[in-house]
Amino acid sequence: MVIAEASSAADTVAIESLFWIAAAAVAAPIVSRIFRGYVPDAVVLLVFGMAIGPHVLGWADRDSVEILSELGLGMLFLLAGYELDPKLLGGKSGRVARFTWLAGLLIALVAVTFTVPDEDFAAHIAVAIALTSTALGTLLPIIKQDGLLDTPLGRSVMAHGAVGELGPILAMSLLLTSRSVGGAIVVLILFGVAALLIGAFPQRLLERIPGLRYAVYEMSGGTFQLPIRVVFLLLVSLMTVAAVFELDVVLGAFAAGLILQRLNGPANHDVGKSLEVIGFGVLIPIFFVTSGMGIDVTAVLGEPVLWVVLVVAIGLARGLPVWLSERYIPHGSNLTEKRERTQLALYAATGLPIIVAVTEVATESELMSLQLASSLVAAGATTVLLFPLIARLVKPTERV
């Protein structure tokens, strides 16, 4: 009877938590629409998560839905890898973007050392990585809505955004680990080999077994939905491999997205649309709400100066190097308008998902205090709220 009662109580907590998370997920886009999109959906989800979490109302328990939150994180970065155009990482513009990100990482590390001297060096590295991220997945709907995607500004945002996602993910795997840098590089190479083998396996099957591709296509609808099941298996497999190698699961999810892009091809949009439905409709909102539940509102409000300083630090560490590189380093497609360069810097400094991922890894590894993690996530949410809005306000006036 005691075991049955304990199990029933745990089930009740989980389903009640899921109810409040689902309610927040439904309300968030409505609130965002009321504010005409100027308050992004991700920010509203975080705020609702803070409200229903243990630090405010205490209506929902984060631990009871942890596996769903992990899947939401994985789906977010799978979609980021799937939408990433590898061409953006090559060429002179890609090299400039990579150099800019590395320069920003060094600037951030120096700035963090003086800004939060109470934390150890590992925490400084974690904060520096978070400060130099770009929320490309969050920016995509914004630049699409503003009609910027196929413009020189949109292509520049995509290039710096691609590096701003991939760079921090690799840095997390190399630097936020108990291994030495050399050992981490070896493990990262082994993971890359494993990912290539996993990605090559279905490709070989499709090439060598006659009619398999057609059979998969035949089972893509109805109650089968085989391609979606395969994608889910791919995602979980690479997240598992990353976990076995003691790497962050974000790396596995991102690699799954890159592999899926190669397997699916640019012409097949059905799988991508289905993944967006599952991801942005169910799993990703759960991740953002549960992330908000982990923010200690009292800690953030108790150190408002730290919150503001971190927002400014993100703008300086990520936005300023992007602006300087676009202004002074020629790469063949530099933006000539001053306001466009300012827009690019603001968009590049918009970061949230990787900041959440970094703080979760750092707090679980006891590299970062909860107060600093909460302030950092709050600062990331502030950049998503303010920087795209300011970028819209400084939009160049159209010539008649």
| CA-wise closest residue to 316 among 137, 48, 140, 104 | 104
Give the chain's domain count.
1
pLDDT digits (tens, 9 = 90+) for 72-114: 989 988 988 887 777 777 778 888 999 999 999 998 988 788 7
- Helix intervals (H) in the chain: 2-34, 41-52, 66-83, 91-115, 121-131, 136-145, 152-175, 181-208, 212-218, 226-244, 249-264, 270-278, 284-293, 297-302, 304-314, 320-328, 338-348, 353-364, 370-393
Rounded to the nearest 10 degrees, the angle between the axes of helix 66-83 and helix 270-278 is: 150
Whole-prediction pTM: 0.84
**Alpha carbon distance, N-terminus to C-terminus of the chain:** 78
**Residue 310 and residue 379: Cα distance in Å, rounded?**
6
Q: Identify whether 350 is part of a domain.
A: yes
pLDDT tens-place values along the chain, 400 residues long:
666 555 555 678 899 999 999 999 999 999 988 987 778 888 899 899 999 999 889 999 988 899 999 999 899 889 888 877 777 777 788 889 999 999 999 989 887 887 666 667 778 888 899 999 998 877 877 777 677 777 888 888 888 988 998 899 888 888 777 667 778 888 889 999 999 999 888 888 888 888 887 888 788 878 888 889 999 999 999 999 998 988 888 889 989 998 998 887 654 667 888 898 999 999 999 998 998 898 888 888 888 998 998 899 999 999 999 999 999 998 888 888 888 999 999 999 998 888 988 888 888 877 788 888 888 999 998 998 889 889 888 876 554 4
- Token pair 């840098």 is found at 181
Instruction: Give the angle subtended at the CA of 381 by the CAs of 354 and 74, to the nearest 5°.
Output: 30
Parent domain of 290: 67-393
Alpha-carbon separation of residue 230 from 194, 263, 314 (angstroms): 17, 11, 38
**Residue 121 and residue 367: Cα distance in Å, rounded?**
9
Q: Which amino acid, residue 400?
A: V
Alpha-carbon separation of residue 375 from 79, 164, 169 (angstroms): 27, 21, 21
Q: Identify whether 89 is part of a domain.
A: yes
Fill in the DSSP letter of residue 269: -
CATH number of the CATH domain containing 127: 1.20.1530.20
Q: Identify whether 192 is part of a domain.
A: yes
Q: Identify whether 361 is part of a domain.
A: yes
**Residue 143 and residue 203: Cα distance in Å, rounded?**
33
